[in-house]
Structure 1
Amino acid sequence: MSHRRGRILLVDDDALQRQLLGGFLSAHVYEVQEAAAAEEALSLVRESAPHAILLDVRLPGRSGLEILPELRALLPDVPIILITAYGEVRQAVAAMKAGATDYLTKPLDLDELLTALADALSRGDVLNSGGLAVPPLPPGFICASLALRRVLEIAAAVAPSEVPVLITGESGTGKEWIARLVHLWSNRTAGPFLAINCAAVPEALLESELFGHVKGAFTGAVRTRAGVFQSADGGTLFLDEVAELPLHLQVKILRAIETGEILPVGADIPKKVNVRVVAATNRDLPEMVQEGRFRVDLFYRLNVVELHVPPLRERVEEILPLARQFAWEIARQNVRFSPRAEECLLTYHWPGNVRELRNAIHRACLLCRGDVILPEHLPPAVQSATAGDESRKPEGRLSQLEQAAILAALAECGGNRTRAAEKLGISRRALIYKLRAMEAQGITVPSPGEKPN
């Protein structure tokens, strides 16, 4: 069975449906277990954990929704895909909240089923692909790339300590998400997590926001007010855009980190605080240190551990899973992307990263009147990013070289996607996405086991 993709537990009370889906998945090199009822499914997973579960909502006795929390407790990291009847959006929403990885509606689109399984299993492959252990991720957090996996490994390793963490990366890459994970995986998880954007608060008010003030400290200070350092006591304080701190406040931040004491505006006696500081920036702090715009002592105090979040263009494997996640969150229904729309999403370079992707999907969901997102629903810049666009000739030539390399790797590996991906130095799912984009351009792609001509 070493050649099998994984073992799928198919839970459905309809014997004909089980036979059809089981045969289809077996033909696509999955090992299939079947269960006709909830208790049978629970018994099977207690004996041996499957790699993924396809769970029908409507079952005799206990429904799929009723046993979902129990399955999730038994198998916290196993993908569970719910199968619902068309239009049962409330059930789908409840399922996602209860821990389902994805959901599909009847009548099932078999291509969509294969894509959902590949996405779910590939995510599991990344999270269990060696290296340091990574704790369970919160619902909605997608890690499908080795680049992000490496960041999570370091975050998991340093989270239990008390050292400050500096998170760097371009705007929109998800730095606050990483900060929240550090807090979630730390010994401070029961305490508060507070975030303050140092660039969003006027400089005249920033000191008070950070350290608080006493009554009468300045005009309008009619009562004593705690700042975020006090409010985050026992937990984690996230200083976003830390590079925008004025120099005179950088000194006070440094003192707070080193001594655990703050001095509210207008106060004479410092206050003790127990806070872990996690900071983030999209600026080049070493360059700012050289220019005298950021204190060198604060830089070294914050930069005990640096987590660099790679841009989305270096995490291509995550573009479509993120797009589907955003589409679900925004539209609250199962929205599909046409092959051409997927090609646009995969080809565009996303200078605004995950934030720009979410905005693009938000726009697409508003313009899409059905349940299929087409290229014309995407922003103009994303539409024009396809390989055949005359305005992007350099990227088109690069794409042709990439296509030739992919076809050559498939030829050497006898059409085997996994070995070809290893040879190319990319994940299997990234290769699948690239093959889909090639098919959308009319390029013949060999089936698994078939050598290219």
Structure 2
Amino acid sequence: MGGNILIADDDAAIRTVLSQALSRAGYEVRTTGTAATLWRWVQAGDGDLVITDVVMPDDNAFELLPRMKKLRPELPIIVMSAQNTFMTAIKASERGAYDYLPKPFDLRELVAIVGRAMNEPKIRDKLAAPADLEGMPLVGRSPAMQEIYRALARLMQTDLTVMITGESGTGKELVARALHDYGKRKKGPFVAINMAAIPRDLIESELFGHEKGAFTGANQRSAGRFEQAEGGSLFLDEIGDMPMEAQTRLLRVLQQGEYTTVGGRTPIKTNVRIIAATNKDLRALIQHGLFREDLFFRLNVVPLRLPPLRERGEDIPDLVQHFFAVAASEGLPLKHIEAAALERMKRYRWPGNIRELENLVRRLAALYPQEVISEPLVDTELSADSSPLLPGFVQQHISEERGGREGDDRGTSLASAVERHLSDLFKAHAEGLPPPGLYHRVLRELEYPLISAVLAATRGNQIKAAELLGLNRNTLRKKVRDLDIRLMRSPQ
């Protein structure tokens, strides 16, 4: 292959391994343990490619990267880091790195990346203005998440259409927002629409807007989501639930870059980035005539699969810490968790994925007075998930009531259990007052098992469930969506 490679890493073992692997691949290699030496080599015009660690004893590669790219914009730079976060990948991309590799890395993959970099055109215009890096939109250091970070870093400065797939609760909208917030359209609006949450006969109006008098009740012109997202990004969530008529109109937009409002005649040019998401198998829908194949290929330009939580169990400690911190920022007591409790979480299957984990952490923060969350508490909550009737904290108090007040029906009532728990919670909080937002949190925890139980009893028949619950059907649909309740399909 040929070519000279400069390697900078303060770990001598890593320098040796990389030097041997790349030398065997036919490259000339020079190594150093300091950023100063690397910078001196680059200034002298040495090297056809740079491989550098982020944290060096005398400097940070993210500070050195812009200087190297300004001096030699054609020089490919591969960044390595043990700080395997989403923001590390983003910083590497924004500062002009050719690629980012988390440690530990696969040697064969690194050699392959070096080969591509050495054979691609040298001029790469990937520099962008630094983004606001406060906060971390995505959490996790697992290999599965590292692949997501690297893919996102490559996509940030493009307008390519992205199709995000993954089970419910895996964070598809969070990824879509990251693509927008750290991309070239970040100054424009981010507009999201959930196809499953809108009546099918209103989807076209929601997407493309309508003119006054276009249909009964259209008393004035209304802007659609495409118009609202102009210059920014449009996130089409649950795209598999889009009706065929709307699919046809969406395909025209993707093909011609223009649309007409419902009831309108004048084509309107559009400039938006499309990000779609689904938890369904679109290829199976295509086979059953429920999704257009040509639209699928227009949307599936860059497929991005989000792993379920059960495939990234090593991320659970980071996620739990993150969600506890978020809960504390909202006024809940800051909690800590035992290692055994984390291990119990890792053994759980998490059918609701990250959303289920977040709900659990919020529940533990809001409803238990203990400062340190133990394994028995976590086990109580996770075991309660298999029961559709009562959340874990209620079951725990009912069990206590039964043990201490045999024969007293009031002791096992739901109202009694909640009343006793809230009394304990108030005593544990400052000045004997409840934490902020308690009403909605407790209501949410009670609504989830109630609605889940009724839907299970009606085998997913929402019309029947709404009737039994005494709710409007649209209200029930909104609660199902907001609570992320997994529906059982009604028998055909």
What's the TM-score, normalizing by structure 2? Answer: 0.52
Matched, 1:194 2:191: yes
2:254 maps to what in 1? Answer: 257
CA distance in 1, matches of 2:324, 2:206: 36
1:448 maps to what in 2? Answer: none
TM-superposed CA distance for 1:185, in Å, is 3.5
2:176 maps to what in 1? Answer: 179
CA distance in 2, matches of 1:360, 1:251: 41
Say whether the 8 Å CA contact 1:165–1:306 is kept in structure 2.
yes
Matched, 1:337 2:333: no
- After TM superposition, the structure 1 = structure 2 runs for residues 16-415 of structure 1, keeping only pairs within 5 Å, are 48-49=58-59, 121=83, 123=85, 128-129=101-102, 139-140=135-136, 141-332=138-329, 333-378=333-378, 380=380, 382-383=382-383
TM-superposed CA distance for 1:376, in Å, is 4.0
TM-superposed CA distance for 1:138, in Å, is 5.7
Residues 237-280 of structure 1, C-alpha deviation per residue, up to 9 Å, x if partnerless? 00000000000110001111111111111111121111111100
TM-superposed CA distance for 1:124, in Å, is 8.8
CA distance in 2, matches of 1:182, 1:307: 12
TM-superposed CA distance for 1:158, in Å, is 2.6
CA distance in 2, matches of 1:380, 1:232: 45
Return 5+ residue gaps in structure 2 as ranges: 1-9, 14-54, 66-81, 90-100, 114-125, 386-492
Structure 1 residues 324, 47: closer, same or farther in 2, change over 3 A? closer
Structure 1 residues 138, 196: closer, same or farther in 2, change over 3 A? farther
TM-superposed CA distance for 1:300, in Å, is 0.6
Structure 1 residues 74, 368: closer, same or farther in 2, change over 3 A? farther
Residues 5-54 of structure 1, C-alpha deviation per residue, up to 9 Å, x if partnerless? xxxxxxxxxxxxxxxxxxxxxxxxxxxxxxxxxxxxxxxx9993589xxx
Hey, which bits of structure 1, 4+ residues long, moved more than 6 A? 73-76, 131-137
Aligned to 1:215, the other structure's residue is in SS state: coil
TM-superposed CA distance for 1:163, in Å, is 2.1
CA distance in 2, matches of 1:262, 1:301: 16
| Of 228-237 and 175-184, the range deviating more from structure 2 | 175-184
Residues 72-121 of structure 1, C-alpha deviation per residue, up to 9 Å, x if partnerless? x9799xxxxxxxxxxxxxxxxxxxxxxxxxxxxxxxxxxxxxxxxxxx95
Q: Which amino acid aligns with 2:336?
A: R
CA distance in 1, matches of 2:311, 2:293: 30
Aligned to 1:378, the other structure's residue is in SS state: helix
Say whether the 8 Å CA contact 2:234–2:274 is kept in structure 1.
yes
Structure 1 residues 351, 214: closer, same or farther in 2, change over 3 A? same
Say whether the 8 Å CA contact 1:320–1:345 is kept in structure 2.
no
CA distance in 1, matches of 2:56, 2:350: 43
Q: Percent of aligned pairs with the same residue? A: 41
Structure 1 residues 384, 202: closer, same or farther in 2, change over 3 A? closer
CA distance in 2, matches of 1:123, 1:161: 21
What's the TM-score, normalizing by structure 1? Answer: 0.56
* Bigger radius of gyration: 2
Structure 1 residues 252, 138: closer, same or farther in 2, change over 3 A? farther
Structure 1 residues 246, 227: closer, same or farther in 2, change over 3 A? same
Say whether the 8 Å CA contact 2:237–2:278 is kept in structure 1.
yes
Say whether the 8 Å CA contact 1:126–1:149 is kept in structure 2.
no
CA distance in 2, matches of 1:125, 1:186: 13
1:17 maps to what in 2? Answer: none
CA distance in 2, matches of 1:255, 1:122: 41
| Of 369-378 and 200-209, the range deviating more from structure 2 | 369-378
Aligned to 1:156, the other structure's residue is in SS state: helix
- After TM superposition, the structure 1 = structure 2 runs for residues 424-435 of structure 1, keeping only pairs within 5 Å, are none
Residues 363-415 of structure 1, C-alpha deviation per residue, up to 9 Å, x if partnerless? 11122213211234336462599xxxxxxxxxxxxxxxxxxxxxxxxxxxxxx
Q: Which amino acid aligns with 1:331?
A: A
Structure 1 residues 168, 125: closer, same or farther in 2, change over 3 A? closer
Structure 1 residues 2, 74: closer, same or farther in 2, change over 3 A? closer
Aligned to 1:196, the other structure's residue is in SS state: strand
| Of 176-185 and 207-216, the range deviating more from structure 2 | 176-185
CA distance in 2, matches of 1:123, 1:191: 26
TM-superposed CA distance for 1:220, in Å, is 1.8
Structure 1 residues 153, 254: closer, same or farther in 2, change over 3 A? same
CA distance in 2, matches of 1:192, 1:167: 19
Structure 1 residues 121, 279: closer, same or farther in 2, change over 3 A? closer
- The size of the alignment, in residue pairs, is 282
CA distance in 2, matches of 1:278, 1:340: 39
Say whether the 8 Å CA contact 1:196–1:238 is kept in structure 2.
yes
Structure 1 residues 122, 299: closer, same or farther in 2, change over 3 A? closer
CA distance in 2, matches of 1:181, 1:325: 17
CA distance in 1, matches of 2:297, 2:86: 36
CA distance in 2, matches of 1:74, 1:334: 35
